[in-house]
Amino acid sequence: MRALLVVNPKATSTSARTRDVLAHALASDLKLDVVSTTHRGHARELARQAAEEGQVELVIALGGDGTVNEVANGLLHRGPDPEGLPRLAVVPGGSTNVFARALGLPNHPVEATGALLSALESGSSRTVGLGFADGTAGTVDAGVPGRWFTFCAGFGFDAGVVGRVEQQRERGKRSTHALYVRQVLRQFVGDPHRRRGTIVLERPGGEPVEGLAASIVCNTAPWTYLGDKAVYAAPAASFDTALDVLGLTRLSSAAVARYGTQLLTSSPERGPRGKHAVSLHDVAAFTLHSQVPLPFQMDGDHLGLRTSVSFTGVRRALRVIV
């Protein structure tokens, strides 16, 4: 089998030694090409080329969730075709690795490589659903196309936190849980819309949900991880269904303390709840509108400001080796 290993050398837990060890292990069973990314969007370009040329059967992403997102978007450039596209495999090399862990893969590159080789030997794979978001109509920076996401998207408060974290990382700060906590506090102080939300959720056949200050869209559960602790914003979300949404209509000090505690103590059976929390399950299509431009993120990648984003949950979008 011919395979392409796409390596992000700047990912948090990826090193040249890790790359070489994994490439050696994979090359024993695969006809392997190894390419390290050199710029943002490079992984997407490589995966798109592999899909269009039709000679590669498997694309392996070694990196964090951003690398996985780019590879998935490259493979799906012309839309989903689980049987005709190269399969996707993931070797976690980032700081959180939500997609890989949600698939049940080990959160260590060497152990994950062993699991990958076992899955290839046994022919084990699954076809997962993905989310698609089109924010073109509400884009402050025009010309941004729609994009796939593997595990989550956010519009409003949580996307603002992601944007602040990215700014700190660009200044040389390491991606740590303490860094995220500090940026949550700064977003809380600096967000002028947290007390009176500006977001309206509209969906076919359903009543509009108005006044959201934060909206978290989940394609799977958990939503994220704090170390080894899984955090569930929408516990019922699954790769086998459409999309789930957690919306919060108020983010006062008391509400943030309440829902923050509920997230930290969440489980596969229970997520955030209360009079300011709105939960929707298995929604195939909906749009989030805002009266003012708000931050938008997908799979932990801040994508700027939007006033409107349309979401679609696509079942059976991509085959993944597990």
> Does 213 lie in the same domain as 160?
yes
What tokens does 213 get?
A: 């200050």
> Does 309 lie in the same domain as 186?
yes
State the pLDDT confidence band at 299, using cuts at 50, 70 and 90: very high
**Range 50-73 average pLDDT:** 96
Output the pLDDT for position 136.
59
**Range 105-131 average pLDDT:** 94
> Does 306 lie in the same domain as 202?
yes
Output the pLDDT for position 142.
43
Output the pLDDT for position 139.
43
Domain-terminating residue out of 123, 146, 178: 123
Output the pLDDT for position 173.
83
Domain-terminating residue out of 85, 107, 123: 123
**Range 207-223 average pLDDT:** 96
Lowest mean pLDDT of 180-194, 258-272, 297-311, name the range: 180-194
Is position 321 within any domain?
A: no
Q: By residue range, what is the domain housing residue 154? A: 131-316
**Range 121-145 average pLDDT:** 76
> Does 29 lie in the same domain as 155?
no
Token pair 């939960």 is found at 279
> Does 184 lie in the same domain as 165?
yes
Is position 99 within any domain?
A: yes
pLDDT of 137 above 80: no
% of the chain residues with pLDDT over 90: 73
DSSP 61-80: EEE-HHHHHHHHHHHTTT--
**Range 114-122 average pLDDT:** 94
The tens digit of pLDDT for each residue in 139-178 reads 434 444 699 999 999 999 999 999 998 888 788 887 777 8
Q: Would the pTM of this model clear 0.85, i.e. be above it?
A: yes
Is position 158 within any domain?
A: yes
Residue 56: give its domain's CATH number: 3.40.50.10330
> Does 310 lie in the same domain as 174?
yes
Is position 98 within any domain?
A: yes
**Range 173-199 average pLDDT:** 82
Q: Which helix (H) or strand (E) holds 116?
A: helix 109-122
Q: Which sign, positive or negative, has the C-alpha torsion 184, 301, 313, 87?
A: negative
> Does 288 lie in the same domain as 144?
yes
**Range 108-121 average pLDDT:** 92
Domain-terminating residue out of 68, 89, 123: 123
> Does 87 lie in the same domain as 141?
no
> Does 115 lie in the same domain as 161?
no
> Does 145 lie in the same domain as 89?
no
State the pLDDT confidence band at 19, using cuts at 50, 70 and 90: confident
What is the tally of structural domains in the chain? 2
Output the pLDDT for position 145.
67
CB hemisphere CA count around 300 (13 angstroms): 23
**274 phi-psi bin (left φ>0, alpha ψ -120 to 50, beta other):** left
Is position 24 within any domain?
A: yes
Is position 322 within any domain?
A: no
Is position 15 within any domain?
A: yes
Is position 224 within any domain?
A: yes
Residue 261: give its domain's CATH number: 2.60.200.40
> Does 136 lie in the same domain as 60?
no
State the pLDDT confidence band at 262, using cuts at 50, 70 and 90: very high
The candidate with the shortest Cα–Cα distance to 113, out of 86, 85, 87, 93, is 93
> Does 178 lie in the same domain as 93?
no
What tokens does 267 get?
A: 């489980």
Q: Measure the CA–CA gap between 59 and 293, rounded to whole angstroms.
A: 36
pLDDT of 229 above 60: yes
The tens digit of pLDDT for each residue in 75-87 reads 999 999 888 999 9
